[in-house]
A and B are shown apart, each in its own frame.
Chain A
């Protein structure tokens, strides 16, 4: 649907604004704050941004933009890639948007392996150091058990999908389920 009286530039801006809102909503599922998701959204859209660009687009202060970018860098989500015209730093996603999906699938096995190793190490430590009877040990045992369920379920889910020929069937299943619930 087209909003009346908008020129193409304004119309594109309106769509971009809605796109940013969607990315902010999805970022919420990852526990991200609004400003972090908003800045990340502009990186998704424009690939490369400067602090000045972000200040202009979002209206956030220099301090907010700068600290959010620093935090995103620390998390390894973005990198500072030199300076533009010798004056300003350029920030870009550590992994280009176009490669994120395949990278995510590729990383999952590593993720499950790292977690399984960690849980095994925890369990061994509890047993070897005879910590089983110490106060709080039950909580750690329950944590290990819970995380095993989470990791195993996620691993089976990802592996099941990787071996499923038709993604469409899966998608239909979800839709039916969500609509039923």
Chain B
């Protein structure tokens, strides 16, 4: 059963709103994360089990917006979907931390590794045809962007790995 929206005391509901606002603001400020995505993610962190209707009531977002973010969270393995017995509605549940960590960061690491291979290939192509392409407008910009992304990938991968390790240590406690 979904958590009732009316189930929260007004003072707690206000705290919840403050948390969501903070989550959204800091996610954008420090990580450039999408505010709508962060708003819905924050509600999952707090409420854990929600329907799409709950999220619409809590956030005021349209059905389409809620659905889009739900789809992303499902793809990231951060939430799971189950049908509410006797209805056609779905209940979405946030995976327990730190399980959710590994489920999110491992596919994210795979995506980064794939990107790294593609970036390496691009750099090889750019360097191999540098003489012909050098005069083409945008060559230096594209080369600089590829090189910079290539330098960033190992750091991001290392951070992901450490986060997974730390989360696992917490599980073993």
Contacts and interface: CB of A to CB of B under 8 A. Distances in A.
Contacts of A136: 7-9, 12-13, 16
A45 B141 contact: yes
Given A12-B133, A44-B145, A46-B138, A139 B47 contact: yes
Interface in A24-47: 25-26, 28-33, 36, 44-47
A87 to B, nearest CB: 20
A175 B112 contact: no
Given A12-B142, A45-B145, A2 B125 contact: yes
A143 B46 contact: yes
Given A12-B139, A22-B115, A171 B158 contact: yes
Given A122-B15, A170-B158, A175-B113, 17 more contacts: A22-B119, A28-B72, A29-B111, A75-B32, A76-B29, A77-B32, A111-B30, A134-B12, A139-B3, A139-B16, A139-B48, A156-B162, A157-B166, A170-B154, A170-B162, A175-B157, A177-B161
A147 B15 contact: no
A15 B126 contact: yes
A145 to B, nearest CB: 9
Nearest to B108: A29
A114 B26 contact: yes
Interface of B: 3, 7-9, 11-13, 15-16, 19, 22, 26, 28-38, 41, 45-48, 68-69, 72, 76, 97-98, 101, 106, 108-113, 115, 118-119, 121-122, 125-126, 128-129, 132-133, 135-136, 138-139, 141-142, 144-146, 148-149, 151-152, 154-155, 157-167, 170
Contact of A135 (B12, B33, B115, B151): B12
Contact of B148 (A16, A98, A125, A149): A98
B98 A149 contact: yes
20 contacts: A2-B125, A15-B122, A15-B126, A19-B122, A31-B38, A31-B41, A33-B68, A45-B145, A107-B30, A134-B12, A135-B7, A137-B12, A140-B12, A149-B98, A150-B97, A153-B163, A167-B154, A174-B158, A174-B161, A175-B113
